[in-house]
Chains A and B, each alone.
Chain A
Amino acid sequence: MAQPFRMPVVDSVPKVADEVAVGEDLKFQRKWWMFERVIWSFFVLVLLCDLLGVFGRGWLAKAKRSTPDQALTLDYERVERSGSPSVMTLRFGPAAAHNGHIQVFVGNEVIRGLGARRISPEPATSALTDGGITYTFDSGSTPTIAEIALQPMFPGKHKIRIQVPGSEPIETSVLVLP
């Protein structure tokens, strides 16, 4: 063996009271105390942001988009959390109804990215379209409201697209936090 197996014990640490060896380091400790104050302030800040909805589920996260002809208004959350259920609301205006039906195209990002679970009320038909699903509802009288129950599975930024055929699409992005 290159090195001897045993080594004599020698104290290499400043001694307190000329005898007691304590590895004290007041310089470090003072820096640490300052660090603690910073961290606690940061934590308080995080909580405030959470309360305000910066991380989802709050006032700042709620958003609303409409098409110019008011055919479709979307209530959604800008920030979602993965694994947590939420609801996206689609409001249809008079311009959305054609021949007693309301059709809406919901992009794949909403279905898979945001984890759409259910759409209520039950649509009369749903058809797989390029890039998403087109739902058809019987419209009794307008305005009508449809709700999509969401439960995102993975974190990430998702660009979503919802469109009533004949009107402009609503495109926006939703951030899903872990």
Chain B
Amino acid sequence: MAFFIIARAAFGYLFLVLIVRIVGRRPGKQLTPFEFVLIFYLGGLTLTGMVGEEVSLTNAITQIITVALCHYLLSFLRFKSERMARILDGVPLVLMEKNSWRHETLVRMRIQDDDVMHTARQQGIKDLSGIKTAVLESYGEITIIPKKEK
């Protein structure tokens, strides 16, 4: 019976990893209210399914340890294997290089050139010509390599 408690916790965590990965990366660093809704809702629903009626402290600790172990296991796999790292994190994608946009990437990741410019402006770059390369990182942030480098 304890097995089911652990199994629910493991399944909940892994499914969450999948969902967050699939729902996609949004550009920009700030967590807008839009993201918070998603975070709280997803987190809350997952935990309700995990816990059910069994709210004892023992169960809670068991499930938390299970989640922690799963997290650690995934971190380890990510570290050891490039393939797992690509699957779990995703890869960085070039948005713009040599003054030309990568249209396919922009469309598929639903990014507007305005998002890129917004990030560039935050780094003090005035317009597109000041950007050498723009990269969409695996965790959603856009990083800009300016033409003049430090």
Contacts and interface: CB of A to CB of B under 8 A. Distances in A.
A and B touch in the complex (CB under 8 A): yes
Contact of B94 (A16, A28, A83, A154): A16
Contacts of B133: 16-17, 20, 22
Interface residues of B, number: 23
Interface of B: 1, 4, 7-8, 18, 22, 24, 52-53, 86, 90-94, 97-98, 105, 108, 132-133, 135, 145
A16 B97 contact: yes
Given A17-B132, A17-B133, A39-B22, A178 B4 contact: yes
A22 B91 CA distance: 9
A20 B24 CA distance: 25
Given A20-B145, A24-B93, A29-B90, 9 more contacts: A16-B97, A16-B133, A17-B97, A22-B135, A24-B94, A28-B91, A39-B18, A154-B1, A155-B4
Question: Sorted from nearest, which 5 A-B pairs have the closest CB atoms?
Answer: A20-B133, A83-B52, A25-B91, A17-B97, A20-B145
A8 interface: no
A39 B18 CA distance: 10
Nearest to A33: B108
Interface string A74-104: 0000000011000000000000000000000
